[in-house]
Structure 1
Amino acid sequence: MVFQGSSAAISHTGKVRSNNQDSGYAGSNLFVVADGMGGHAGGDVASSIAVHRLEAVDQPFATTSEGERVLRETIADTATDLIDTVRVRPELAGMGTTVSALLMIDDYAVIAHIGDSRIYLYRDDALTQITTDHTFVQRLVDSGRITPEEARYHPRRSVLMRVLGDMDADPEVDTFIMPTQPGDRWLLCSDGLSGVVDDAHTAKALAQGFAPGRTADVLLKQALDGGAPDNVTIVIVDVGGQHPIFSGTPTIVGSASTPKGIEVPAARPGRTSWLHPVRQAANEPSHFEPAAEFLEELIEEDRRRARRRRIGWIVGSVVILGMLAAALFFGYQWTQTRYFVGADEDTVVIYQGIQQNIGPITLSTPVEDTGIALADLPTYQQNAVERTISAGSLEQAREVVERLSPAGETQ
Structure 2
Amino acid sequence: MTELRVGLLGLGTIGIGVARILIEQQDLISRRLGKQVRLVAAADRVLDRDFGLDLSGVRLSSDASEIVTADDVDLVVELIGGYEPARTFVVTALEHGKHVVTANKALIAKHGEELFPLAAAKGLQIGFEAAVGGGIPCMKALREGLAANAIESVYGILNGTCNFILTKMENEGADYADVLKEAQALGYAEADPTFDVEGIDTAHKLSILAAMAFGSKIKFDEVYTEGISKITAADIASAHEMGYRIKLLGIAKPHANGELQQVEMRVHPTLVPVDSQIAQVSDSYNAVQISGDFVEHTMYFGRGAGERPTASAVVADIMDITSGFPDGIAHLAPPMGFVESSRREIPTMPIEDAVCEYYIRLMVKDQPGVIAAVTSILADHRISLEALIQKERHASNTVPIVMMTHETTEGNLQAAVSRITGLDAVEEDVLILRKESAVA
Shared topology, TM-score over 0.5? no
Q: Structure 2-normalised TM-score?
A: 0.21
Q: Structure 1-normalised TM-score?
A: 0.22
Higher relative contact order (CA 8 A, sep 6+): 1
More helix by share: 1
Of structures 1 and 2, the larger Rg is shown by 1
